[in-house]
Amino acid sequence: MIKIINICGARPNFMKIAPLMRAYQAYDNIEALLVHTGQHYDENMSDLFFRQLGIPEPDINLEVGSAGHAKQTAEIMMRFEPVLLEHKPDWIVVVGDVNSTIACALVATKLGVKVAHVEAGLRSFDRDMPEEINRLLTDAISDLLFVSEPSGLENLAKEGVAEQKVHFVGNVMIDTLRSNLEKAERSPILEQLQVEPGGFNVVTLHRPSNVDDAATFGRIADALDEIQRDLPTIFPMHPRTRHNLSKLGLAERFAAMPNLRILEPVGYLDFLRLLGKAAVVVTDSGGIQEETTILGTWCLTVRENTERPITVTQGTNTLVGTDTNKITSAYRKCRTSARSAKPVPEKWDGKAAKRIAAVLAAAGV
């Protein structure tokens, strides 16, 4: 029996872990446990996704909650170590690039438990981004590295990672998108918000570099002001961003945009429906760059770089940075350009988790 502890903690982890937990079920020789670190804990940042995506109840919740990087990472490590000592798994599987990812990987490797990293090799080459540090460190201590796009293979080869550890399996986030598209069609969100397909924009922002700094957030707000004059704009707001709105004195600025609607974060099915039917998506999310690529919706990424370059070369994504005029002129361009059909990125076919489970089953204890 191969015992695998799977780790999730923050919103984007849930879409990545869901197809994996399902894929293991095809193997009699895999025993899969699920640990939730509790990094995200609000109903609509966590539990809602478990219900909508059919993720099994976590076997253990470390309930770490929010804190600065050092405290949060350290808390996860301290609470995860006894779990590993008790359950003695053969592998842990970590996904993505959040603090929960590196914290659990680090604990495991020091206890001699093998680490598999899903979404390995992505690099923004921007070490001011906390996630870039998490990616570099997690990949450096992983025994199996599951890669979602060709740039990941190139980056890991350049860093000298042994080829036999690396497997190009595709994108688990897109597994989840594909298996939920039909259900998302039935979401009533467009009617609830009284918007028409193609007649609205969607915004999400949560990167500290964008929303923790008043000047940068202000420049983005100026762009959003112009964008909402063109079309109703729906902004499901991440809790970090919500906290900063009043802290940075921007609440009134947003309240004065009549066509921009701030919502609480919405569930996956509603969000997928919004993404699929939006005219333009303005975001700094990692996962949303990939989802819009598959949905064929224009995506303007308010960042200077992306660790997911295939979404630009083969998708609908454009990097627009945080300059007001750059954002608004890219927006106007989207509004007047037809989307050209591009080939779907290789292996973004809904079968990535199955490939991962097969590699783990073959790797053994």
- The single residue of 36, 40, 117, 206 carrying the catalytic annotation is 206
CB of 272 to ligand UD1, least distance (A): 16
Chain centroid offset of residue 333 CA: 26
Angstrom distance (rounded) from CA 172 to CA 220: 30
Closest CA to 193 of 185, 206, 202: 202
Residue 300, beta-bridge partner list: 282, 318
Q: Which residue has the tokens 């949560």?
A: 206
Decide if 291 contacts 344 (C-beta within 8 A): no
CB of 251 to ligand UDP, least distance (A): 19
Of positions 38, 58, 152, 286, contacts ligand UDP by CB under 6 A: 286
User: Which 8-state DSSP code applies to residue 346?
Assistant: T
Asked if 355 touches ligand UD1 (CB under 6 A), the answer is no
Decide if 134 contacts 13 (C-beta within 8 A): no
Decide if 171 contacts 290 (C-beta within 8 A): yes
Of positions 4, 6, 7, 11, contacts ligand UDP by CB under 6 A: 11
CB of 89 to ligand UDP, least distance (A): 25
Q: Which does 240 bind (CB under 5 to 8 A by kind): ligand UDP, ligand UD1, none?
A: ligand UD1
User: Which 8-state DSSP code applies to residue 265?
Assistant: P
Q: Which does 243 bind (CB under 5 to 8 A by kind): ligand UDP, ligand UD1, none?
A: ligand UD1
Of positions 4, 12, 204, 289, contacts ligand UD1 by CB under 6 A: 12
The stretch near ligand UDP (CB under 6 A) out of 78-86, 263-271, 292-300, 314-322 is 263-271
User: Which 8-state DSSP code applies to residue 299?
Assistant: E
User: Which 8-state DSSP code applies to residue 129?
Assistant: S
Q: Is 243 a catalytic residue?
A: no
Q: Which does 287 bind (CB under 5 to 8 A by kind): ligand UD1, ligand UDP, none?
A: ligand UDP
Cα–Cα distance list, 88 to 4, 58, 116, 219 (Å): 9, 17, 15, 50
Of positions 4, 7, 11, 60, contacts ligand UD1 by CB under 6 A: 11
Of positions 42, 185, 196, 264, contacts ligand UD1 by CB under 6 A: 42
The residues annotated as belonging to the active site are: 206
Q: Which residues bind ligand UD1 (CB under 6 A)?
A: 10-12, 39-42, 45, 66, 97-99, 130-131, 206, 238-240, 243
